C-alpha cells in the first residue's frame, strides 16, 4: 500500500488540494445560502480532509507525517463517517457537523503543537501558530449553536482553503528548485508562517464576530412612563399620559410619546403607547395627519419604537420627514405589548387596526396643536398589514375618523401564503418564531408550543427575546440560520392554525383610496404572493393602485433612495388635495 501511495501521491495531493481549495472558497463565499447547500459543502469538506488524513497516516514519507499515525488515521475514518452520516441522518446534522469539525481542528492542532515541540522540526514557528489556531478554532466550534452559521462557514471554508493551498504549493515547490530535504526554502517557509498566523488571527476574529453578533443591542427596559395608572378608562382612544420626545426626531419638529387606551383582540380594554411628531412652525391651522403602522420590531416591551434612539426610522422615513417639513403631523402606535405589558398581538389584524386608530384619537387630545378630523394611514410589512386592517375596521370601530387613503407597502396581506413562502428562509424563521411565541400566549387553544418543530422550543424562545432592529435583528437572523427545518412544519399550517392565519389575512373591502407597493426582489413578502392577493382583491371589486419596484428587496423598498419615496409623497399630497385616485385593477 505504501509503495502504491508513493507512486500516486504526485497527483493525488494536488488533486485533493484543488478540491479543498474549491470547496473552501464556495463555502466561505456562500455560507449564508441555503442550509441544505451549506450542509452538503461542509460534509464534502469533511470527507476530503478525511481522505487526506488517512493518506498521511499510511504514507510515512509525507511532509505532514507525525509520530502518531494511528491518531491521524483514526480521526480520518471518524471524519469520513461523520461527513457521510451528515448527509444521510438529517435529524442530527448540525450538532454532528459541529462535533466533527471541532474534532478535526483539535486533532490537527494537537498534532501541529506536538510537531513544534519536537527537536529538529524545520517548521516550528508555522506549526506552533497553526496548532494554536486549530485548537482555538476547535474550542470555538464547541460553542455551537452560539457560533453563527455565517462565521462557521467562513472559518471552516477558510481552513479548507488554507489546507488546499498548502498541498498545492507543496507540490509546486518540489523539483529542481527545491532545497535539500529537511531545509525548506525561505519563500516556502515564510508562506507557511504567514498562513498559520493568518489562520490564528481568523480564529480570534471569528470569536469576536460571534460575541458581537450574539450580544445584541443594550437591553432597554421600559420606564415608569409605560406603566398604566391604577384607574384606566374603559373608553378606547383616551390619552392617559404624554411627555416630550427629544431624540431621533426630524429636524424642525417637536415630538411627544403618549400612553392611551385601546382594545385587546378579545375586546377587553388595554393600554398602548406611541408617539406624535409635528412641525415646529405649525401655526394655529389644523394639521393633516399620517397615522403610521410600523413594521416588525419584535414581540416584547423593550422593542417599542418610542423607546428607540431613532423612533421614526421605520418604514418610509424620508417620506415622513418631507411631509412633516410641509406641515403634516405623524402619529404612530407602538402597539400593545411593545412598551406596555404584553403579550404583543403580532400580525393580529383587528388588534393592530384598533391600536392605530386609537393612537390618532389620543393624539388629538394634546393641547400643543390641532389635528384635522381625517387621516392618511400607511405602513410597511407588519405595518402594511396593520394599515389595511385599520382602514377595513374604521367605519365600525371609529366612525368619527375620516380616512383620506391607505398606503400598504410590502404588506403581510395573506398570512397563510406568507407563512408557507418564507418558512425556509432565515428572516422567515424569525417571523415564524415571533408568531409561535406571541400566538402561543394569545391563542392557547391552538397549542402552538406542541406544533413547533421538535427541539426548536429554546431557539424560538431565544429569538422571541430579541428585537428586529439593530444588532438584535442580526442576532435573530443568525439564530434563524441555525434552524435546519421550518419553525412551524407545513403540516401544522393547516387545521386550526391555518384557519387563524386566514382570519388575520386581509380579505375585506376597503372603501378608501388604496395604494399598494411591492419590491420585486423581496425575499420576505414574496412578489408572487402579493400579485395573487392583488388579483384576488381586484376580482372582488376592490379599486386600488398597485406598483412594483424592480431591484428592491423588503427593506430597500422603503430606504431613502427608493423611488417609492417620491411616489408616496405625491400620493399623500394628492389625497389631501382630493384628487381622484388611480385604479390599476381596470
Of 499, 523, 552, which closes a domain?
Answer: 499
pLDDT digits (tens, 9 = 90+) for 452-499: 988 888 888 889 989 988 778 877 887 787 777 889 998 888 889 999
Q: What is the pLDDT of residue 143?
A: 59
How open is the CA angle 152-153-154, to the nearest 5 degrees? 95
Give yes or no for a contact between 356 and 274, defined as CB atoms under 8 angstroms apart: no
pLDDT at 306 over 90: yes
pLDDT at 66 over 50: no
How crowded is residue 333: how many other Cβ atoms within 10 Å of its Cβ? 35
Of 441, 468, 499, which closes a domain?
Answer: 499
Provide the domain limits for residue 82: 2-173+187-215
Q: Which of 436, 454, 452 is nearest to 501 (CA)?
A: 436
pLDDT digits (tens, 9 = 90+) for 546-568: 999 999 999 999 999 999 999 99
Q: What is the pLDDT of residue 481?
A: 73
Rg (CA), the chain: 30
Give yes or no for a contact between 276 and 256, defined as CB atoms under 8 angstroms apart: yes
Looking up residue 542, the CATH number of its domain turns out to be: 3.40.50.1820
- Supply 245's cell numbers: 420626545
Q: What is the pLDDT of residue 1?
A: 46
296 found inside a domain: yes
pLDDT digits (tens, 9 = 90+) for 166-185: 777 666 665 434 444 444 45
Q: Are residues 438 and 547 in the same domain?
A: no
- Supply 67's cell numbers: 509520530
pLDDT at 217 over 60: no
586 found inside a domain: no
117 versus 94: the higher-pLDDT residue is: 117
CA distances in angstroms from 312 to 109, 220, 258, 293, 407, listed in the order given: 50, 17, 15, 11, 17
At residue 62 the predicted structure's pLDDT band, cuts being 50, 70 and 90, is: very low
Instruction: Name the average pLDDT for the chain.
Output: 82
- Residue 410 to residue 553: CA distance in whole angstroms: 10
Give yes or no for a contact between 195 and 165, defined as CB atoms under 8 angstroms apart: yes
Q: What is the pLDDT of residue 141?
A: 65
Q: Which of 293, 287, 357 is nearest to 323 (CA)?
A: 287
pLDDT digits (tens, 9 = 90+) for 504-520: 999 999 999 999 999 99
Q: Are residues 153 and 108 in the same domain?
A: yes
Query: If you average pLDDT over residues 1-13, what whole number do you get?
Result: 55
Of 477, 499, 521, which closes a domain?
Answer: 499
Give pTM, 2 decimals: 0.74
Q: Are residues 384 and 283 in the same domain?
A: yes
Query: If you average pLDDT over residues 415-431, what whole number do you get?
Result: 87
How crowded is residue 57: how many other Cβ atoms within 10 Å of its Cβ? 22
Q: How many CA atoms lie within 13 A of 186 on its CB side?
A: 0
Number of domains in the chain: 3
Q: Are residues 274 and 240 in the same domain?
A: yes
Q: Is 483 helix (H, G, I), strand (E, B) or coil?
A: coil
Residue 253 is classified by DSSP as E
Q: Is 122 exposed, middle or buried (0-12, 13-18, 19+ CB in 10 A)?
A: middle
Q: Are residues 400 and 523 in the same domain?
A: yes
Q: Which of 461, 453, 221 is nearest to 341 (CA)?
A: 221
- Residue 460 to residue 458: CA distance in whole angstroms: 5
pLDDT digits (tens, 9 = 90+) for 221-252: 788 999 998 888 989 999 999 999 998 898 89
51 versus 544: the higher-pLDDT residue is: 544
pLDDT at 81 over 90: no
Q: Are residues 56 and 89 in the same domain?
A: yes
Amino acid at each position: 500500500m505504501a509503495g502504491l501511495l508513493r507512486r500516486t501521491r504526485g497527483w493525488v495531493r494536488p488533486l485533493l488540494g484543488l478540491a479543498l481549495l474549491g470547496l473552501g472558497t464556495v463555502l466561505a463565499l456562500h455560507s449564508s445560502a441555503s442550509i441544505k447547500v451549506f450542509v452538503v459543502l461542509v460534509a464534502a469538506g469533511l470527507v476530503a480532509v478525511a481522505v487526506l488524513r488517512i493518506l498521511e497516516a499510511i504514507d510515512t514519507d509525507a511532509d505532514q507525517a507525525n509520530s502518531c499515525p494511528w491518531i491521524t488515521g483514526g480521526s480520518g475514518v471518524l471524519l469520513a463517517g461523520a461527513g457521510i452520516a451528515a448527509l444521510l441522518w438529517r435529524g442530527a446534522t448540525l450538532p454532528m457537523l459541529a462535533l466533527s469539525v471541532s474534532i478535526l481542528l483539535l486533532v490537527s492542532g494537537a498534532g501541529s503543537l506536538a510537531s513544534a515541540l519536537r527537536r529538529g522540526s524545520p517548521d516550528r514557528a508555522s506549526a506552533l501558530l497553526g496548532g494554536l489556531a486549530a485548537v482555538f478554532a476547535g474550542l470555538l466550534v464547541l460553542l455551537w449553536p452560539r457560533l453563527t452559521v455565517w462565521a462557521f462557514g467562513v472559518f471552516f471554508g477558510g481552513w479548507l482553503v488554507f489546507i488546499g493551498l498548502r498541498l498545492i504549493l507543496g507540490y509546486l515547490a518540489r523539483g529542481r528548485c527545491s532545497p535539500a530535504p529537511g531545509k525548506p526554502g525561505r519563500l516556502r517557509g515564510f508562506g507557511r508562517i504567514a498562513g498559520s498566523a493568518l489562520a490564528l488571527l481568523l480564529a480570534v476574529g471569528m470569536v469576536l464576530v460571534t460575541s458581537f453578533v450574539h450580544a445584541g443591542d443594550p437591553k432597554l427596559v421600559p420606564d415608569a412612563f409605560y406603566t398604566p395608572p391604577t384607574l384606566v378608562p374603559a373608553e378606547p382612544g383616551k390619552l392617559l399620559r404624554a411627555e416630550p420626545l427629544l431624540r431621533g426626531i426630524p429636524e424642525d419638529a417637536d415630538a411627544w410619546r403618549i400612553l392611551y387606551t385601546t382594545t385587546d383582540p378579545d375586546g377587553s380594554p388595554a393600554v398602548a403607547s406611541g408617539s406624535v411628531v409635528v412641525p415646529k412652525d405649525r401655526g394655529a391651522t389644523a394639521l393633516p395627519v399620517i397615522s403610521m403602522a410600523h413594521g416588525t420590531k419584535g414581540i416584547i416591551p423593550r422593542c417599542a419604537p418610542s423607546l428607540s434612539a431613532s423612533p421614526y426610522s421605520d418604514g418610509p422615513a424620508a417620506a415622513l420627514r418631507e411631509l412633516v417639513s410641509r406641515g403634516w403631523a405623524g402619529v404612530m402606535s407602538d402597539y400593545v405589548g411593545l412598551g406596555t405589558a404584553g403579550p404583543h398581538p403580532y400580525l393580529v389584524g383587528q388588534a393592530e387596526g384598533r391600536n392605530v386608530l386609537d393612537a390618532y384619537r389620543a393624539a388629538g387630545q394634546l393641547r400643543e396643536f390641532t389635528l384635522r378630523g381625517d387621516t392618511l394611514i400607511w405602513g410597511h410589512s407588519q405595518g402594511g398589514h396593520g394599515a389595511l386592517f385599520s382602514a377595513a375596521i374604521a367605519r365600525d370601530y371609529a366612525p368619527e375618523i375620516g380616512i383620506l387613503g391607505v398606503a400598504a407597502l410590502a404588506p403581510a396581506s395573506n398570512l397563510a401564503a406568507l407563512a408557507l413562502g418564507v418558512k425556509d428562509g432565515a428572516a422567515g424563521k424569525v417571523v415564524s418564531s415571533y408568531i409561535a411565541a406571541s400566538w402561543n400566549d394569545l391563542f392557547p387553544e391552538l397549542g402552538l408550543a406542541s406544533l413547533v418543530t421538535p427541539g426548536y422550543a429554546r431557539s424560538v424562545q431565544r429569538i422571541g427575546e430579541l428585537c428586529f432592529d439593530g444588532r438584535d435583528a442580526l442576532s435573530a437572523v443568525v439564530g434563524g440560520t441555525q434552524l435546519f427545518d421550518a419553525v412551524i412544519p407545513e403540516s401544522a399550517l393547516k387545521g386550526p392554525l391555518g384557519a387563524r392565519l386566514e382570519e388575520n389575512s386581509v380579505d375585506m373591502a376597503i372603501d378608501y383610496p388604496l395604494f399598494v407597493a411591492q419590491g420585486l426582489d423581496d425575499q420576505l413578502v414574496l412578489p408572487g404572493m402579493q400579485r395573487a392577493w392583488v388579483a384576488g382583491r381586484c376580482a372582488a371589486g376592490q379599486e386600488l393602485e398597485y406598483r412594483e419596484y424592480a431591484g428592491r428587496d423588503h427593506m430597500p423598498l422603503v430606504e431613502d433612495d427608493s423611488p417609492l419615496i417620491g411616489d408616496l409623497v405625491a400620493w399623500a399630497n394628492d389625497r389631501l388635495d382630493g384628487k381622484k385616485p388611480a385604479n390599476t385593477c381596470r
